[in-house]
Structure 1
Amino acid sequence: MLSPLPDLNIGSASAIPQANDVEYLTPVQIGTPPQTVMLDFDTGSSDLWVFTTQTPQQQSQGHQLYNPDSSSTASQVANAEFQIQYGDGSGASGTVFRDVVTVGGVSVQDQAVEGATMVTGSFTEDQATSGLLGLAMDSINQVTDGGTTPNPQKTFFSNAMGNLAMPLFTANLKQGTTGNYNFGFVDESEFTGSVNFVAVNSSQGFWQFAASGFAVGQGAATALPHQAIADTGTTLMLMPDEAVEAYYQQIPSAQNSQQQGGVVFNCNDTIPSFTAVISGYQAVVPGDIIKFAPVTGDSTETSELCFGGIQSNSGLGFAIYGDIFLKAQFTVFDGGNMRIGFAAKSDGNF
């Protein structure tokens, strides 16, 4: 399983954290000659969209832009448009091009590149990013013909998969430092022990899997069967209320803050680990990672209050295992076998 075939594509690209690890950005080359933009790789959506020279200036100021007119391999797709809205209410819409896209040395010809003609305010404010690169299933791509008939486009990974040495990619996100996404191979130096695989249910278009329970700190595991998705594009770990309440009962100062929109606690409290039980594997998220971000100061060391990295999924039909979880695990997205694998980081290297 871990031996790539010779003479086929592999690639590796950096995943660079932004402030408080709110997102991870990866350099992507689009067009001929290549134009480099920084994109947020998102295993919870399936659209590759970018700020372009056609994005209104008041929305795109300060962003690195893709200019299709400067690419000899770019072509606009007639009648095609996209409109996407994410779970936090942000979104983008616009037109569709085809162009060559390269990630970490792996290239795809005629990749659908969606050019934003409208983005919501949070994307405008986030000047470090030039858009998203979706890595979920093709079925939830948001391209339509003329705004009515769905015309889902293949993701970068879907297009690349057949030419990769192994039909998978891996995520090794790190806390406060640069990690990586690897395509077509599994780097055994990035994890310890074995990779623990569980089947993926792709019916809703996500990297969705079954989890069986959880544990807090050194406590015994509690059975809580639930569906979950592995989502690099979500910052936090969003869990069923039963797990959230059980976790924060172990932090005396924890309180639900309407002002902050979630559970906060005293930064100098002892923060226990959280363990997700997945097909018998115990995926441990250290308390230091769950101490997500300062509320009242510049850092979790100087702030009185910290915002918790585990929050309620607000009754959503599945949990979202976002970056808080994925920072603590080496993760294999195996598209060829429709499964996902988790392993402990080498030397606790979060």
Structure 2
Amino acid sequence: ITAQIGSPPQTVYVQLDTGSNELWVYSNCDESDSPSICADFGIYDPTKSSTSTDTEVEFGITYGKGSVNGIYYIDTVALAGISLPTTQFGVATTSSALFDGIMGVSFGYPYNTLYYNVIDKLYADGKTNSKLFSLGLGSATTAEGEIVFGGIDTMKYSGYLALIPILFPGPDGSYRYWVNLNSLGNTQPGASSSNVYTVTDYSLSVILDSGTTLSYIPQALFNLVLADFPEAAQQSSGIYSVPCSYVTESGTIDFGFGNMIIHVPYSQFIYQPSAGSCYLGFLPSASGDIPILGDTFLRGAYVVYDQSQTSIYLANYVNCGSSLVAVPAGYGAASAFKGQC
């Protein structure tokens, strides 16, 4: 996602992360794990902004992979032409296993931050009707990913959006995008119905996290999925390779949330980091670790995140154009808009 920071604006590209809650950027690329990638994504130099304020307050964030430390600054941040003066964010001084900045869009003030994060600020400044945004990642092979702050794109899904309550707080006491997954299945190529696996106690609490590439489920459930992919072979990294022929087959992995079933095509569920390399989109979560539905799930879903009403809306992702609609405040408001695909 593109952010313009400072006066005059400095363009920085940051990773969108629904699993974290803070925006931070690099001021130089020396600390990045890949200075060349960092340089391509852009940096923010506070000394070149007339509206920059150094708060002299330190920050530190640890991710599933990587960490960053630095200083909080306050400056103007613009997203899609919408200017947000006096926005607080981090400027990195040291980092590990990271190569570009991150925009966390999970719950901010007062649950996870002592200041307004980007979603809070959009609402506080009157730019959105509520703390709501929608995300359609779309295909991994085309640059069609889209985030809409304060609204939805009715040409990115079919049918109606199903409302799913956010577990608030989650089972671990954290304030994140926790929801209950009620079923998991696999509709194999040519099959007329899904082979539904048993989910413990009829529901599994999971986090929706766009900052995680794969999806992580408990070992017992993973073993059931693995049995449907007999050619899968575990690599030294732990990931499971599969024949790339799966990508062109018509099967789907089926995720059930109440009455809504999200059918993720094999073409999106199979992770393809490079041509000729294909991997199962699931990995087993270690005992005690948090189950996560990452990009291998999200590429098949259109997701509306409504912090104000602690709700998620889900529909099957389809891209048939673009038609943006502002969502009014209120419980269930997004359910009124039928997808045009």
Superimposed CA distance per residue, residues 243-283 of structure 1 (whole angstroms, 9 cap, x where no aligned partner): 322222111211332x1322222223558421111122101
Please say if 1:107 is aligned against 2:83: yes
Q: Aligned partners of 1:45, 1:140: CA distance in 2, in Å?
A: 14
> What's 1:19 paired with?
none
**Match 1:274 to one of 217, 238, 253:** 253
Q: Match of 1:187, as an amino acid?
A: D
Please say if 1:237 is aligned against 2:211: no
Q: Match of 2:142, as an amino acid?
A: T
Q: Aligned partners of 2:48, 2:111: CA distance in 1, in Å?
A: 26
Superimposed CA distance per residue, residues 261-320 of structure 1 (whole angstroms, 9 cap, x where no aligned partner): 2222222355842111112210111111122126xxx51xxx3x6221111122345321
Q: Aligned partners of 1:106, 1:279: CA distance in 2, in Å?
A: 36
Cα 1:140–1:261, aligned 2, differ >3 Å: closer, same or farther?
A: farther
Please say if 1:312 is aligned against 2:290: no
Task: State the TM-score, normalized to the length of structure 1.
Answer: 0.79
Cα 1:139–1:244, aligned 2, differ >3 Å: closer, same or farther?
A: farther
Q: Aligned partners of 2:320, 2:120: CA distance in 1, in Å?
A: 31
Q: Aligned partners of 2:84, 2:148: CA distance in 1, in Å?
A: 15
8 A contact 1:47–1:141 mirrored in 2: no
Q: Which runs of 5+ in 1 are unaligned?
A: 1-25, 143-150
> What's 1:36 paired with?
11
> What's 2:162 paired with?
196
Q: Aligned partners of 2:110, 2:263: CA distance in 1, in Å?
A: 30
Give the number of aligned pairs: 300
> What SS class does the counterpart of residue 241 from structure 2 fall into?
strand
**Match 1:327 to one of 299, 305, 322:** 299
> What's 2:241 paired with?
264
Q: Match of 2:272, as an amino acid?
A: A
Superimposed CA distance per residue, residues 43-90 of structure 1 (whole angstroms, 9 cap, x where no aligned partner): 10112111004x646767332210111111110113x111111112x1
Q: Aligned partners of 1:284, 1:222: CA distance in 2, in Å?
A: 14
8 A contact 2:300–2:317 mirrored in 1: yes
Shift of 1:105: 2.3
Percent identity, please: 23
> What SS class does the counterpart of residue 245 from structure 2 fall into?
coil
8 A contact 2:18–2:211 mirrored in 1: yes
**Match 2:137 to one of 136, 161, 173:** 173
> What's 2:226 paired with?
248
8 A contact 1:141–1:153 mirrored in 2: no
Cα 1:316–1:273, aligned 2, differ >3 Å: closer, same or farther?
A: farther
Cα 1:140–1:118, aligned 2, differ >3 Å: closer, same or farther?
A: farther
8 A contact 1:43–1:231 mirrored in 2: yes
Q: Aligned partners of 2:287, 2:110: CA distance in 1, in Å?
A: 21
8 A contact 1:46–1:140 mirrored in 2: no
> What's 2:93 paired with?
117
